[in-house]
Chain A
Amino acid sequence: MHKERQVGTFKMDKIYLDNAGTTRVRDNVLKTMSSFFSTNFDARTTEKILSEARQRIIELLGASQYDVFFTSCGSEANNIALNVMADLIRKSAGRRRIFYTAIEHASIYRTVESNAFEDFERIRLAVDRIGMPLHHNEIDGQGGAATMMYVNNEIGSILPVYKWIDTFKSANILTHVDAVQALGHIKLTLDILGADFVTLSAHKIHGPKGLGILLVKHELAPFVEQILRCYTINMPYVMGFVTALEARYKAMTEHLEHAAMLKTYIITRLKQIHQEIKIIGFEAVDSEKSVSAIINVQLPYLEGDSIVIGCDMAGIAVSSGSACSSGTMQASHVIKALGFSEAEAKRCFRISTSDFTTVEEVDRMLEVLCTMLEPFEERERNDQQ
């Protein structure tokens, strides 16, 4: 249930519907981390704790063919994977090219499109209206690298990564999967997925912010070690992540049911509010096709950043597009890549729920939305008369 919290000097009574951005830490995660933070461990014990944690992660993710590296965030893990792939290709006889989809996260597309890949042919895979990458006939046997997200962070679509990884692998192409938004919503079995690199992040599943996880096939792990910065692993965070992951896996069915219930409820209500409200991505609840916790909504009349502001003033967090350095919301590159115009992309916003989200909270957000749409509906009615 939604209630006001006093944290430090900040009073927070926000309704939080931006869980694809980040999530609050679960109470038992906090408890675990706290005990590991406030205890002295000698080096040998720390090594043992981390080794067991790695083992547990490997078990939970079905990743026996992988080494586990801890980074400071998902973006850093993505960056390392891309750089290691690039170095490997430069040293090999393979073609210097990288495939990536048009709807990747900024940490992927900005890196691929930066100077770091200037000696590479960069092949951007177009996607269809719901985010499925379209076939590219250059995927031949000449090698290279490919990176593809498992679940899109803005529309929740599940990309057919199994099929694509097979295709790339049979073309001798190194593969990376950014599974940050898949974790906790899809039961992962990385040994079967078979990508060379997989990125995860702790804070999307009620774990701590500041911990990314890069899983690397055993044979490639030495190349990652070579470029890894020297640092002390944040062991309490690692333990927090393991706790969060265990909690989610234990209650996966309940999590998925709750998310599906909320998605159904939200979409039903949205359709009642205005017939021109559209859902971007998969509208139906289908755990094979999309993550129910992410719902992208296109509105009539209102721009996404207006909704974000209107909700913010009412104490509700939702999101739209991606923020630039000044904090401005710009039309989402993802929505545009789906084939929508700049103006259409600007009218989108994202609701993302968590296990803690209640129907009452959703109702409050929908009330704000109704209030904001009302004058425009009235204007239209007046225009028609």
Chain B
Amino acid sequence: MINNKRVVVGMSGGVDSTVAAYELKRMGYEVIGVNMRLWQDPYLEDAHLMHEGGCCSLSAVEDARRVCAQIGIPFYALDFKAVFKETVVDYFIDSYEKGETPNPCIACNKFVKFDALLEKAKQLGAYYVATGHYAKIDFNEASQRYEIHQSDAVEKDQTYALYNLTQAQLAHILMPLGSFKSKDEVRAIAAQFDIQIAGKSDSQEICFIPDDDYVGFLSRNGNSEMREGDFVSTSGDVLGKHQGIARYTVGQRKGLGVTFGKPMYVVGIDVVNNRVILGDNEAVFSETVYADTVNFIPFEDFKDGYACQAKIRYSAQAASCKLYHHKQGIKVVFEMPQRAVTPGQAIVFYDDTLLIGGGTIRKHKK
């Protein structure tokens, strides 16, 4: 029997997931705490670099186990290594090798947290999966659809990474932190639990690269070697040598290893010719963005010319734009040109605080 009061909560042992589990228990749910064991770089695992700090470390399992005992809920560590490797790590590597800049958190949400974990929750007789994401899920009676709204704690909002969620998934997801006004409110509740704040770097960019050295990671785990190639100007003139395309991302200025007479930025990556294209500040701006693998939440489809706001990266300001259908995907035309539109990253749409949907950026032009 599927119990619609039973919920599986992904627990990292940190503040957010602990408070999420605690809140659900307080609301009367039957809560099961789960720590997802994910794939780790064998090199770092061997060097025992993964055992301290970070949400995927062994100490995180013990932290999660301890807070679950304090909350008074059962706790289990579950193995998601294979699915994580396949859908997140391999995608991450492929994306860089294609000259794009991946977003592994979005892939993890789509394939691991809200797919594999949701499937596991069903096996455990739970109706819901819950996480400590800062986002609000509502059911709109008028449209009969689930909607995602930005968190009331605006600076913590995590809706950007949730645009892929489908109606079928949303019916089974709870995010109890969405209505908290600030992280301080969450911390105040967390204060009663024995959470090891020390040694937990939640600012980590990518959980499977705890040392933040993604270039080192790619050279150990990638399929193709990092090959030296040319920096070229937008008109094709050779400007110098680069150290392998995976080291560069659109908009990057620092770390090019070559100095020019004026500030130069990465404006594109040409995988076929193994070239990194550089341009001046002007050249980093684009008005039109093409995206595919799109998903929309409050509706299935839109009319060409649909006006909304879009973020081209997690930290970007939402900017006014219009959406048009284009081949298999969409075309987004911004009112004001956007800086450093990066293929591989997500473009995410909002109507004020309502998350409309998003897609993967493939191309852009002036």
A residues with a Cβ closer than 8 A to B are 301-303, 305-306, 309-310, 312-313, 324-330, 342, 371-372, 374-376
Contact = CB atoms under 8 A, between A and B. Distances in A.
B201 interface: no
Contacts of B1: 371, 374-375
Contact of A310 (B35, B61, B79, B124): B124
A303 B123 CA distance: 8
Given A327-B61, A327-B77, A375-B1, A302 B82 contact: no
B197 interface: no
A321 to B, nearest CB: 9
A326 B76 CA distance: 10
A309 B37 contact: no
B240 interface: no
Contacts, number: 52
A330 B39 CA distance: 13
A190 to B, nearest CB: 39
A330 B122 CA distance: 19
A305 B79 contact: yes
A325 B76 CA distance: 13
Q: Is the interface of B mostly helix, strand, loop or mixed?
A: mixed
B56 to A, nearest CB: 10
A313 B37 contact: no
A37 to B, nearest CB: 32
B210 to A, nearest CB: 16
Interface of B: 1-2, 32, 35, 37, 58, 61, 65, 74, 76-79, 82, 120, 122-125
B125 A326 contact: no
22 contacts: A301-B123, A303-B120, A303-B123, A305-B79, A306-B120, A312-B74, A313-B32, A313-B74, A324-B37, A326-B35, A327-B65, A327-B77, A328-B37, A328-B77, A328-B78, A329-B78, A329-B79, A330-B79, A342-B82, A371-B125, A372-B123, A375-B1
Q: Which 10 A-B pairs have the closest CB atoms?
A: A306-B123, A328-B79, A327-B77, A326-B61, A328-B77, A328-B37, A375-B2, A326-B77, A302-B123, A309-B76
Given A309-B74, A324-B79, A326-B58, 14 more contacts: A305-B76, A306-B120, A309-B76, A309-B124, A312-B74, A324-B37, A325-B58, A326-B37, A326-B77, A328-B77, A328-B78, A342-B82, A374-B1, A375-B125
Contacts of B78: 305, 328-329
B14 to A, nearest CB: 16
A347 to B, nearest CB: 10
A369 to B, nearest CB: 12
A310 B125 contact: yes
Contacts of B77: 326-328
Nearest to B127: A375
A284 B61 CA distance: 41
B1 to A, nearest CB: 6
Contacts of B124: 306, 309-310, 372
Contacts of A303: 120, 123
A325 B51 CA distance: 11
A312 B32 CA distance: 12
Nearest to B79: A328
A372 B120 CA distance: 12
A372 B121 CA distance: 11
Contacts of A306: 120, 123-124
